[in-house]
Structure 1
Amino acid sequence: MTQKTRKIIGWVFTGLLALVFISSAFMKIKGGAQASQGAAALGISLDTLKLIAIVEILSISLFIIPRSGLLGTLLLAAYLGGAIATHLEHGQPVMFPIIIEIIVWITAVIRFPELSKRLATAQ
C-alpha cells in the first residue's frame, strides 16, 4: 500500500469516526426522548450525559488533530472501554462499541506509523 493510499484511508476512517462521535455527542447534548430513555436505563442523569458528550467531543477532536492523535486514540479507547463495561453491566448489546473500538485502533495504526512500529516491536 502506497503512502498516499494509506493517508487517504486513514482520513476516510477518521472522518467516519468523527461523524459517529460528534453525532452521538450532539444527541446527548440535545437531550431528546431517546437520550433521556437511554440515560434512565443506565441510571445516568441528564447532566452526567452532557458531561459524557463533552468528553466525546474532546476525545475525537484530539484524535483528528495529527499532533495529538495518539492521545485522542487513548482517550477514545478508554471511553469505549467504559461504554462496553456499562453495556455489559446493564445487559445491553456490546457489539456496536466493540466494532467502533476496533475501527479506532485500525485507524490509529494506519494514521500513526509510530504506533504501528511500537506495536510490532512490543515484547
Structure 2
Amino acid sequence: MSQTASVTPSALWTGRGLSALIVLFMTFDGVIKLPPLDVVTQTMVQLGWPADPDVSRMLGIVGLVSTALYAVPRTSVLGAVLLTAYLGGAIATHARLGSPLFSHTLFGVYLGLILWGGLFLRNPGVRSLIPFSR
C-alpha cells in the first residue's frame, strides 16, 4: 500500500470527525449490550434474536473490539472491514423483518458510508486504494 497520496489538513480533520462519530455511536451501541438491560433484551426479541443476555453481550463485545480496531490508526482498515460485516448483519436483520427501508434497513449503510468516508479522508493508504480521481 503506497503512502504517497497526501492528505490535506482539512480532509484529515473531517475524516477524524466522521470517524469519531462512528466510534462514539458504536461504543454506545456496544456498551449498552454488555449488562442485561431490559430494553436491549426486548429489542433483540423484536428483531428475532434470542432473549439471552449472553448473545447480547457477545454482540456488544464484537462491536466494541471492532470499534477499537477502527479507532487505532495502525489497525483501522481491519476495524473498518469488521464493522462493515457487523453492520451488514444489522442490515440483513432489518431486511428479513421488512423494517422501514430508509430509517431502519439502510441505517447500517449510512453508518458504513460515514465509517469508510472518515477512513478515506484520514488514511492515505485507503485513498490510494480507492482513487476517485487521478
Same fold (TM over 0.5): yes
Report which of the two structures shows the higher radius of gyration computed on alpha carbons. 2
Q: Among 71, 74, 77, which residue is 2:78 paired with?
A: 71
TM-superposed CA distance for 1:89, in Å, is: 1.1
Unaligned residue ranges in structure 2 (runs of 5+): 1-6
TM-superposed CA distance for 1:114, in Å, is: 1.3
1:52-110 alpha-carbon deviations (Å, 9 max, x no partner) = 10011101100010000111111111111111011111222313212111111111211
Q: Among 101, 111, 117, which residue is 2:122 paired with?
A: 111
Identical-residue share of aligned pairs (%):
27
Unaligned residue ranges in structure 1 (runs of 5+): none
Larger RCO (CA under 8 A, 6+ residues apart): 2
1:7-65 alpha-carbon deviations (Å, 9 max, x no partner) = 11111111111110011111111232220111112223221111010011101100010
Q: Among 22, 31, 35, which residue is 2:40 paired with?
A: 35
Tell me the C-alpha RMSD between the 2 structures: 1.6
Between the two proteins, the alignment pairs up a number of residues equal to: 120
Amino acid at match of 1:37: Q
Amino acid at match of 1:78: A
Runs of 4+ in 1 over 6 A off after TM superposition: none
- Given that 2:34 and 2:57 are in contact with CA atoms closer than 8 Å, whether structure 1 keeps it comes out as yes
- Given that 1:70 and 1:112 are in contact with CA atoms closer than 8 Å, whether structure 2 keeps it comes out as no
Whether 2:60 is the aligned partner of 1:49: answer: no
3-state SS, counterpart of residue 28 of structure 1: coil
